[in-house]
């Protein structure tokens, strides 16, 4: 059983955090869109780094995650590495994060899926084709997008915990029966999902407009297409958050 000392987390608080995380995701997409696709970043034959086989992107992500692991990033249960194997241990004093989640949540990490979605589906849809040589910056911006999206999706663990505590008698039978269908119905709020999709499109318009003095700027011209941002949420972010919620709930009574 998870310790219950942080029972005061409410669904409203968790949703406020999801709303704040939208800002980070939209900004990180805008920052990545400053660069074209830059294919050599992803081409294993381009990098040829001594002692490393893989793309510049993989090199960058593995090295960055190693440094961040040593600095304690993954001690925080909200953070999930993309390459969890062989990560070095934290070298800093352990901060005692509140134990809100069930311990089984530690085994849930769907970053492989997020990685494939980001590079195969999302990235080609919002950056221009082309190559400007800024491969290291490109890899850095990609990692920022990935980390922001991953944090949001894995936040589903906390959303699920709060929902479970609020409606324990409804969730328990479905968990005992390992009934994904009923769990999906219980945790789905279609009106909230619709509001999320509309809000992120509005944020993409607001944050991604050209700000000019003296006139209204380029109306209708945005740094990242708002429809792509709401599509990202509709097709990936919300469904994968729900996937994490279900994975978490299925193990909640272990
Ligand atoms: O806010 C919630 O209740 C969530 O579970 C989060 C979320 C989302 O990903 O935005 C997912 C499922 C719900 O149907 C509504 C919204």
Count the Cβ atoms, other than its own, within 10 Å of residue 151: 17
Q: Kindly give the confidence (pLDDT) of every residue in the chain, 254 residues in length, as a single tens digit, with 9 standing for 90 and above.
A: 333 344 689 999 999 999 999 999 999 999 999 999 999 999 999 998 999 999 999 999 999 999 999 999 999 999 999 999 989 999 999 999 999 999 999 999 999 999 999 999 999 999 999 999 999 999 999 999 999 999 999 999 999 999 999 999 999 999 999 999 999 999 999 999 999 999 999 999 999 999 888 766 566 789 999 999 999 999 999 999 999 999 999 999 99
Tokens of 54: 């893989």
How far away, in angstroms, is 189 Cα from ligand 1 center? 6
Q: Note the pLDDT tens digit of each residue in 192-218.
A: 999 999 999 999 999 999 988 876 656
Among 185, 14, 62, 164, residue whose Cα is nearest residue 104: 164
| Ligand 1 contact via 185 beta carbon (within 6 Å) | no
| Ligand 1 contact via 238 beta carbon (within 6 Å) | yes
How far away, in angstroms, is 99 Cα from ligand 1 center? 22
**Residue identifier of the C-alpha nearest atom 12 of ligand 1:** 188
Q: Which atom of ligand 1 is least distant from the CA of 15?
A: 1
How far away, in angstroms, is 241 Cα from ligand 1 center? 7
| Ligand 1 contact via 239 beta carbon (within 6 Å) | no
Domains defined along the chain, listed by start? 11-39+101-250 (1.10.590.10)
| Ligand 1 contact via 240 beta carbon (within 6 Å) | no
Q: What angle (nearest 5°) sits at the alpha carbon of residue 87, between those of residues 83 and 88?
A: 160
ipTM of the prediction greater than 0.95, yes or no: yes
**What is the pLDDT, as a whole number, of residue 5?**
42
Q: Which atom of ligand 1 is least distant from the CA of 241?
A: 9
> Which residue of 159, 186, 190 sits with most ligand 1 atoms within 8 Å of its CB, as the best mutation to test the pocket?
159
Please, are residues 242 and 181 in contact by the beta-carbon 8 Å criterion?
A: no
Please state the φ and ψ torsions of residue 222, each to the nearest 5 degrees: -125, 155
How far away, in angstroms, is 113 Cα from ligand 1 center? 19
Helical residues (DSSP H) of the chain, grouped into ranges: 11-32, 44-47, 56-70, 111-117, 123-126, 135-154, 156-166, 168-176, 180-187, 190-207, 226-232, 238-250
**What is the pLDDT, as a whole number, of residue 215?**
67
**What is the pLDDT, as a whole number, of residue 4?**
37
**What is the pLDDT, as a whole number, of residue 3?**
35
| Ligand 1 contact via 196 beta carbon (within 6 Å) | yes
How far away, in angstroms, is 16 Cα from ligand 1 center? 12
């Amino acid at each position: 059983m998870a310790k219950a000392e942080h029972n005061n987390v409410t669904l409203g608080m968790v949703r406020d955090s999801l709303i704040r995380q939208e800002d980070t995701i939209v900004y990180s997409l805008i920052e990545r869109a400053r660069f074209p696709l830059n294919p050599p970043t992803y081409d294993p034959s381009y990098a040829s780094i001594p002692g490393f086989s893989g793309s510049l992107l993989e090199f960058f992500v593995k090295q960055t995650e190693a440094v961040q692991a040593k600095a304690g990033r993954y001690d925080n249960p909200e953070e999930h590495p993309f390459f969890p194997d062989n990560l070095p241990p934290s070298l800093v004093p352990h901060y005692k994060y509140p134990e809100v989640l069930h311990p089984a949540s530690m085994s849930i990490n769907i970053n492989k899926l997020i990685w494939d979605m980001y590079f195969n589906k999302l990235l080609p849809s919002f950056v221009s084709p082309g190559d400007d040589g800024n491969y290291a910056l490109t890899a850095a911006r990609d990692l920022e997008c990935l980390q922001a999206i991953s944090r949001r999706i894995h936040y589903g663990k906390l959303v699920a915990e709060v929902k479970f505590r609020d409606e324990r008698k409804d969730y328990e039978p479905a968990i005992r029966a390992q009934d994904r269908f009923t769990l999906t119905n219980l945790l789905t709020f279609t009106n909230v999902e619709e509001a999320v999709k509309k809000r992120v499109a509005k944020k993409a318009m607001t944050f991604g407009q050209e700000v000019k003095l003296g006139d209204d700027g380029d109306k209708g011209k945005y740094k990242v297409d708002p429809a792509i941002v709401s599509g990202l949420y509709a097709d990936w972010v919300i469904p994968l958050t729900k996937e994490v919620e279900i994975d978490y709930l299925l193990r909640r009574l272990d």
